[in-house]
């Protein structure tokens, strides 16, 4: 896994990237990023129907076209629980692994309106994606949002033949 940060809007990433963002189980799509994705892709109805049909809940992911919708809380008024967030990211990683996805773009998930610490979120991503060959582009609002060690790489351990 390789993580790279860029100052850009999530919806402006180059072609070939899948997007990932948070939603609540009530499908309110009211957070800043979720409302932008809904406006751009008009996926709310499809996501609601898929969640109902597959009996999905907090901690799962719904994929529509090239957008992963991480269900991270019960409703828009709830806080994001770190354990539920971890389950959703693991589900995301499994989806990426199963589809052979090589490029994923995210904002700093659950850090603004939901109050999670980016360091905690980043550790969850590193654990979930550690053995996946994928480039993760983190879209940030300003240069101040980019950590000092801008490109963070987590390469799988090399195999040692004995």
Q: What is the pLDDT of residue 150?
A: 55
The domains of the chain are located at 2-144
- The predicted-structure confidence for 100-131, as pLDDT tens digits, reads as follows 999 999 999 999 888 899 999 999 999 999 99
Q: Look at residue 52 in the predicted model and tell me its pLDDT.
A: 87
9-47: pLDDT as tens digits: 999 999 999 999 999 999 999 888 999 999 999 999 989
Q: What is the pTM of this model?
A: 0.87
Q: How far is CA 141 from CA 33, 93, 98, in A?
A: 12, 24, 31
Q: Domain 2-144 classified CATH 3.30.930.10?
A: no
pLDDT tens for residues 51-65? 888 888 999 999 988
């Amino acid at each position: 896994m390789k993580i790279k940060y860029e100052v850009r809007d999530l919806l402006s990433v180059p072609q070939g990237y899948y997007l990932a963002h948070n939603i609540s189980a009530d499908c309110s799509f009211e957070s800043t990023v979720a409302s932008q994705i809904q406006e751009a892709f008009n996926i709310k109805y499809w996501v609601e129907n898929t969640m109902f049909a597959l009996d999905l809940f907090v901690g799962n992911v719904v994929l529509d076209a090239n957008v992963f919708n991480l269900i991270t809380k019960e409703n828009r008024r709830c806080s994001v629980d770190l354990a539920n967030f971890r389950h959703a990211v693991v589900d995301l990683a499994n989806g990426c692994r199963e589809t052979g996805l090589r490029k994923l773009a995210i904002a700093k998930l659950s850090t603004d309106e939901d109050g999670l610490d980016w360091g905690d979120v980043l550790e969850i991503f590193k654990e979930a994606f550690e053995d996946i060959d994928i480039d993760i582009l983190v879209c940030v609002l300003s240069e101040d949002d980019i950590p000092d060690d801008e490109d963070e790489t987590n390469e799988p351990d090399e195999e040692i033949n004995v």
